[in-house]
Chain A
Amino acid sequence: MQVQVKLFAFFREGRFIKEDRELPEGCTVGEVVDTLNINREEIGVLMLNSRHCQFDTVLHEGDICAIFPVIGGG
């Protein structure tokens, strides 16, 4: 299945801003995060089709998954 993955802020560095990815059926948001070598502890917000989701949320064909890091500096 095809899922669009959108990355934000420094997660884009060495990766991409937006990419259509071919993923196996039943793949979870957490697995996408792991595949991208993103440390789960660095995640601030996860969204699926503009709604909040969790690491164990299962993806479906045509979904848009957005991954935001914690931005904490002042």
Chain B
Amino acid sequence: MVDETPAILSLLKKQAEDRYITLAAAQKIALQNSTTLASVESLALQHSILPLRYKRNGLNSAEQLTLFKSTVAIIGCGGLGGRNAEILSRIGVGHLILTDPDIFSESNLNRQMFCTADNLGQEKVTVLERELQKINPALDTSLHCNHFDRSSILRADTVIDALDSAEARKELATLCQKEDIPLVHGAVNGWYGQLGVDNRTNSIINTLYQRTDGKTTAPRVVPMTVALIATMQATEACKLLLGKGTTIDKGWLQCDLYNGDFEVIEA
């Protein structure tokens, strides 16, 4: 097989303006060379050429390449999971593993960003994959339309806990600790939410759910709480991916949107 890399690189350099390559130009190069958009953009990033859509991230090409090479597993693709997926796709994470056994239903419309009146009844992971491709056509997705297992988190650099049951969260934390992958926890109820990063040292999820027997009813949740907590989860995930670590590794953040009260609880 002929190595097309020098030819692609030369095209990239020729077409890049001020070290930015447009989506249309990268797609054309991929088509001409019978390769994928992702591999063209990967080559670009390795040579400090940024896809134009990342310009306003303000990240340098090394950071953008790190994100592109990263895999994030999103466990649960409802309110928290959907918005995490949207943010991580926009900033340029290269690979998302999406796990959720459910379909969109009408009661999801108030807070789940990819739920629309015309996709009710469709698998959440399938809808997400389709919509995320429109946001970031270079994104690679792996779908698991079932309850999570080891394959949902394997090879992930960071895992997002976007589940809705205490038992499942504890199960996921055990799995992630076993594989030594940081787990960015988020949970919501009404105008209130919490955020933490579970690892082998702090076991924050076991602290938060130590007393529960798993019996939970679907809580009321306003969309602002979901958007805020998911945004903060995606933020912590990106900082972990970029090697900046997390600022909430000892305890958890308690958020009260109704009273405008935010407090880090040191566990």
Binary interface encoding of chain B residues 214-231 relative to chain A, with 1 for a CB under 8 A from any of its CBs, else 0:
011011010000000000
Residues of B within 8 A of A73 (CB): 79, 164, 187-189, 218-219, 221
CA distance A52 to B204 in the complex (A): 12
Majority secondary structure of chain A interface residues (helix, strand, loop or mixed): mixed
Set A41, A45, A66: member contacting B207, Cβ < 8 A: A45
Contact between B211 and A44 (Cβ–Cβ < 8 Å)? yes
Residue of A nearest to B263 (CB): A8
Contact between A72 and B166 (Cβ–Cβ < 8 Å)? yes
CA distance A66 to B264 in the complex (A): 13
Count of chain B residues with Cβ under 8 Å from any Cβ of A?
40
Residue of B nearest to A10 (CB): B190
Set B187, B210, B265: member contacting A74, Cβ < 8 A: B187
User: Does A30 interact with chain B (Cβ within 8 Å)?
Assistant: no
Contact between A44 and B164 (Cβ–Cβ < 8 Å)? no
User: Does B64 interact with chain A (Cβ within 8 Å)?
Assistant: no
Contact between A17 and B261 (Cβ–Cβ < 8 Å)? yes
User: Does A38 interact with chain B (Cβ within 8 Å)?
Assistant: no
Residue of B nearest to A74 (CB): B164
Number of residue pairs spanning A and B whose beta carbons lie under 8 angstroms apart: 81
Set A17, A45, A47, A71: member contacting B189, Cβ < 8 A: A71
Given A17-B261, A44-B208; A72-B219 close (CB under 8 Å) = yes
Contact between B266 and A68 (Cβ–Cβ < 8 Å)? no
Set A45, A47, A68, A70: member contacting B166, Cβ < 8 A: A70
Q: How far is the CB of B222 from chain A (nearest CB, A)?
A: 11
Set A9, A43, A68, A72: member contacting B164, Cβ < 8 A: A72
CA distance A74 to B211 in the complex (A): 19
Q: How far is the CB of B174 from chain A (nearest CB, A)?
A: 17
Residue of A nearest to B215 (CB): A41
Contact between B189 and A69 (Cβ–Cβ < 8 Å)? yes
User: Does A21 interact with chain B (Cβ within 8 Å)?
Assistant: no
Pairs A–B under 8 Å by Cβ, sample size 14: A8-B254, A8-B256, A44-B212, A66-B265, A69-B189, A70-B209, A71-B192, A72-B165, A72-B169, A72-B212, A73-B188, A73-B218, A74-B161, A74-B164
In order of increasing CB-CB distance, the 8 nearest A-B pairs are A9-B192, A74-B164, A73-B219, A71-B187, A73-B188, A71-B189, A74-B80, A72-B216
